[in-house]
Structure 1
Amino acid sequence: MSSAWLGSTPRQDNFAADATLPSGWYRVGSTSYSGSGFDRGHNCPSADRTGSVADNSATFLMTNMMPQAPRNNQQTWANLENYCRTLTNAGNELYIICGSYGRGGTGANGYATTLDAGRVTVPARCWKVIVVLPNGSSDASRVTTSTRVIAIDTPNDNTIQTTWGSYRTTVDAIEAATGYDLLSAVSATVQSAVESRVDAGPTS
C-alpha cells in the first residue's frame, strides 16, 4: 500500500462473485455467508483502494474475502488496517501479505467449520505480515535488519481482544504454520533477522 492507491472514492459495497475464476470452479457469491454469523472479511481492505471506483470495486470480489468473526473483522483487524494507513500517510509504503489457515472459527452464531453448504472453509486463524519502508524504489534491496516488520496471528473468534498488538508474532512462526516462504525476495541474511523478531513498535 502506498499513497498512490489512496483517493476520495467512496466504499462501493458491491460484493460480487469473481467472474475471472476458471471455468468449472465454484464461485462464492455475495450471499454465501448470509446468516452464518461470519463477516465477509476483506483481505485487501476497501479503504486501501480508494483511487478509483474500479480499484475499490475489486476489493469487493468474493475471492478477496474470508469468513471472519465479526469482532475480529470490525475491531481487531480494522484497528490494524487503520494503523497501516497512518503509516502510509506518514510517508511510508507497505508490503502487506495476509491470509488464513486451519479450520473452524467462532462467529456471532457460534462455532463452524464451513459455510455455503460446505463449499467455504471457515479458518481457525487469520494472519498478516507488514513490511514498512520509507517511500522509494528498489524495495526488496532496501529491506535491512532494522526494517520494521509487523506480523500478527489472530484466532478467528468473536471473543478476540480488540488490540491487534496483543497478537504479534514472528514471520518465522507464520511460515511454520502455513508452509509459505514469505519475504523471499529479501536477502537471506536480512530475512533471518527480521523474520525471527516480534515487533515492539507503536500500535496507533
Structure 2
Amino acid sequence: MIKLYDFELSGNCYKLRLLMHFLRVPYEPVTVDFYPGREHKSEKFLAINPWGQLPVLDEGDYRLRDAQAILVYLASKYDDECTWFPIDPEARGQVMAWLAVADDITRTAAAARLHDALGYALDIDAARNGARTVFKLIDDHLAHRESEGRLWLAADHPTVADIACFPYTALSHEGGILRDDFPALQRWIDRVRHLKDFIGMPGIPAPKV
C-alpha cells in the first residue's frame, strides 16, 4: 500500500489526498510534524527525503518527492481513463505548463501563508504582490475560457493541473491575499469544491450537502 508522508495543514500534501480520494486509491498516511516540531528537518526524515520537504510518496520499492511529480505519477498509474493526466500531446503539454504555475503559487501565495500563519521570515510584500500577479494571469485565462464554454485550466474537464493549482489559491486569504478582484478565479475555486467526491482540508471546507 502507498504511504504518504503527510501534514494535514499542507496544501501540497492535501492535493495528493484529494486526487487519491477521487481515484479511490487507498493509502496509509504517515504524519510528519512539520510545525511546530519541524520533523521534516530531522535526521530520520532526511533519510527518507534529503531535500527535507513534504510530501513524499512511498510505494513498495518506489519513493517519490515533490507534489506535482506525485500527482503525475498517481494519475498515470491509477487513472485508467487517462482523464486526470490526458494522453493527448496538446492537452498533456498544457497540463505540464500549469504544473509549473502551481510552483509559482507555492512560491508566492503559500509563502505568504507560512509568514502569516507560522511566522516564517520572508519578504511578505514580495510574496503577496507575486501571488496577485499570478492570480491575475490565471483569472484572465479562466475568463477567456469561460467565454468559450470551457471551465477548466488545461482541458475540457478537470485534470491534475486544476488539483495542483487549487489548494494554495483557495487558502490565499490565510496569507493576507484576498481574491475579490479575481471573479473567474473565484468561480473556478467553487467549481473544484463542487466536484463529485471532493474532500476538504482545514481552511477549505467541503460544500454543505
> What TM-score, normalized to structure 1?
0.29
Q: Which has the higher strand share?
A: 1
Q: Which has the higher helix share?
A: 2
Bigger RCO (CA 8 Å, 6+ sep): 2
